[in-house]
């Protein structure tokens, strides 16, 4: 098991989460409640742990008129899932950015729309771990505001502080398309910058200073290693899988392979105190997903793995793409976290280990990262 942290001392954080969880209560889950007679440990784990999906998309339109005509059942779907929180993630590089200023304009529009969406659902953004513990105790779902891609920064590093002031606490440095001012090499493109650019390095330093968790999912291996060297706080790769876990769909495996991580690179991230989120892609059943998580744990260690589904908890009423988190697999009747906990138990994980994977590991890193340097 890999437990060493390179630049900071290990905190007794998981113990805090586990003991505090005993005083928490389960969200009302109506028909999605698991039959606890089948295995009473399932409801206990969901109740006592603070579950989070570290990469969950909330795609809202760039046109405000379109936003007004759509419905998002965010609170209802969160309550069904059994999760306590999600990293509410959006990107601005689709469709492709053609002019300077577009990324920032889209960024502000989306944050404004998410303000309205969260208000209508009576859900707050978590600015620190205390907010998350308080929300869980009061039985309210909460979100961590996440942005996938630093495109909105362009050549103005001060926009990170604006993002921070708007509630952003989790930043994916890169995404699928390049930004106006390059931040580093994207793992699906041929390398151009030998890792991170100077602006990419400065972005990480500024995130460290402000208290924003840095997500390196779309970075090349060299970019990840550059970030680890420069960051004085732990990092996350929120949604990936091992490149040895390819599933049975050859076409999907070939498409996703550039986005998967090697065992060697996963060990580098874990050795630096980082965490790795396992997505639901390349798993055709909850059991296969649990096995993909197990494979990552065997490589990185139980303290360095989390959930990062890359799904949508509450797509808009007219969204034709991307499946709901609670229906990640066909014929799933229970909420996502209930289903996952059952599958993890079935393949041999212990209750305390599930609590770490389900949220404890993320919140340990989130707590460290969101404290100002």
Other beta carbons less than 10 A from residue 23's beta carbon: 10
- Classify residue 60 as left (phi > 0), alpha (psi -120 to 50) or beta: beta
How many percent of the chain have pLDDT more than 90?
Answer: 84
Q: Where residue 270 falls among pLDDT bands split at 50, 70, 90?
A: very high
Check whether domain 13-23+35-369 has CATH 3.20.20.140, yes or no: yes
Mean pLDDT within 62-72: 91
**pLDDT computed for residue 322 by the predictor:** 64
Predicted confidence (pLDDT) at residue 157 exceeds the cutoff of 80? yes
Return d(Cα 55, Cα 78) in angstroms, integer.
Answer: 14
How many percent of the chain have pLDDT more than 70?
Answer: 89
Of the listed ranges 267-271, 289-293, 313-317, the least confidently predicted one is 313-317
Return d(Cα 48, Cα 18) in angstroms, integer.
Answer: 7
pTM of the model: 0.90
Q: By C-alpha distance, which of 158, 171, 10, 199 is closest to 87?
A: 171
User: Would you give the DSSP letter of residue 11?
Assistant: P
Q: Which long-range contacts (CB under 8 A, 24 or more apart) does 7-12 make?
A: 7/231, 7/232, 7/233, 7/272, 7/273, 8/232, 8/233, 8/234, 8/273, 8/368, 10/273, 11/364, 11/367, 11/368
* Bridge-based pairing state of the strands 142-148 and 168-172: parallel
Return d(Cα 196, Cα 214) in angstroms, integer.
Answer: 13
**pLDDT computed for residue 317 by the predictor:** 78
Q: Where residue 23 falls among pLDDT bands split at 50, 70, 90?
A: very low
- Copy the structure tokens of residue 245: 């876990």
Mean pLDDT within 276-297: 98
CB 325 within 8 A of CB 74: no
Helix axes 13-21, 361-369, angle to 10 degrees: 120
Q: Indicate the domain borders of the chain.
A: 13-23+35-369
Mean pLDDT within 338-359: 98
- Copy the structure tokens of residue 323: 């499946």
Predicted confidence (pLDDT) at residue 16 exceeds the cutoff of 60? no
Residue-wise pLDDT tens digits, 188-244? 999 999 999 999 999 999 999 999 999 999 999 999 999 999 999 999 999 999 999
Most confidently predicted of 10-24, 56-70, 111-125: 111-125
**pLDDT computed for residue 323 by the predictor:** 77
Helix (H) or strand (E) holding 367: helix 361-369
**pLDDT computed for residue 24 by the predictor:** 34
Predicted confidence (pLDDT) at residue 320 exceeds the cutoff of 80? no
Predicted confidence (pLDDT) at residue 318 exceeds the cutoff of 80? no
**pLDDT computed for residue 266 by the predictor:** 98
- Mean pLDDT, the chain, integer: 90
What lies within 8 Å, CB to CB, of 127 at 6+ separation is: 167, 169, 370
Residue-wise pLDDT tens digits, 158-187? 999 999 999 999 999 999 999 999 999 999
Mean pLDDT within 13-40: 44
Coil, strand or helix: which one is 266?
Answer: helix
């Amino acid at each position: 098991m890999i437990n060493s942290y390179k630049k900071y001392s290990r905190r007794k954080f998981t113990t805090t989460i586990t003991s505090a969880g005993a005083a928490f209560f389960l969200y009302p889950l109506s028909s999605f409640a698991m039959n606890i007679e089948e295995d009473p440990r399932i409801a206990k784990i969901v109740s006592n742990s603070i579950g989070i999906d570290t990469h969950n998309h909330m795609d809202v339109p760039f046109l405000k008129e379109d936003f007004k005509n759509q419905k998002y059942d965010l609170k209802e779907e969160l309550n069904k899932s059994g999760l306590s929180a999600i990293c509410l993630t959006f990107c601005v590089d689709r469709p492709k950015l053609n002019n300077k200023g577009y990324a920032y304009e889209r960024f502000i529009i989306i944050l404004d729309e998410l303000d309205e969406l969260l208000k209508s659902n009576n859900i707050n953004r978590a600015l620190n771990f205390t907010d998350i513990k308080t929300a869980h105790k009061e039985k309210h779902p909460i979100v961590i505001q996440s942005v996938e891609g630093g495109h909105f920064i362009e050549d103005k590093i001060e926009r990170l502080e604006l993002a921070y002031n708007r509630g952003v606490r989790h930043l994916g440095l890169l995404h699928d398309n390049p930004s106006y001012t390059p931040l580093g090499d994207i793992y699906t493109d041929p390398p151009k910058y030998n890792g991170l650019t100077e602006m990419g390095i400065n972005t990480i330093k500024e995130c460290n200073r402000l208290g924003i968790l840095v997500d390196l999912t779309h970075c090349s291996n060299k970019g990840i290693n550059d970030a680890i060297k420069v960051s004085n706080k732990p990092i996350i790769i929120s949604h990936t899988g091992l490149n040895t876990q390819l599933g049975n769909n050859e076409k999907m495996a070939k498409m996703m392979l550039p986005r998967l991580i090697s065992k060697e690179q996963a060990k580098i991230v874990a050795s630096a105190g980082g965490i790795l989120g396992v997505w639901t892609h390349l798993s055709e059943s909850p059991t296969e997903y649990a096995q993909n998580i197990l494979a990552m744990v065997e490589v990185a260690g139980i303290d360095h793995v989390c959930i990062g589904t890359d799904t949508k908890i509450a797509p808009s009423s007219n969204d034709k793409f991307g499946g709901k988190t609670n229906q990640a697999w066909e014929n799933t009747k229970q909420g996502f976290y209930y289903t996952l906990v059952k599958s993890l138990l079935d393949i041999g994980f212990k209750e305390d280990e599930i609590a770490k994977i389900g949220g404890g590991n993320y919140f340990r890193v989130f707590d460290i990262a969101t404290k100002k340097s």
